[in-house]
Amino acid sequence: MDFKLIGTTFVSVFLAELGDKTQLATLTFASEARSRWEVFIGSASALILTSAIAVLAGEGVSRLVPAAWIKRAAAAVFILLGAWLLWTATKGER
């Protein structure tokens, strides 16, 4: 078992999820619910399922596309999203 990979994945996903719309939605549900455990079980189950889908999709894509190209594509998408966010943010200030 590769504990370094587990730790890196945990930290990356944990930091990415902090303060995102999923966490805010869960916070809203918990503030309105009678049982916080039901909200926790529902949100945790949803995150597990979406992670399972991502792992399966990643495994499938990796059989067709070399890992280096997947990393390049992911980097390009992040750069494009960052540029788009910067462009729309400065456009809104005018």
Encode pLDDT of 45-70 as tens digits: 999 999 999 999 989 999 999 989 99
> What is the pTM (predicted TM-score) of this model?
0.67
How far is the CA of 24 from the CAs of 27, 47, 49, in angstroms? 5, 14, 19
Q: In the structure, what pLDDT confidence band is assigned to residue 94 with cuts at 50, 70 and 90? A: low
d(CA 94, CA 86): 13
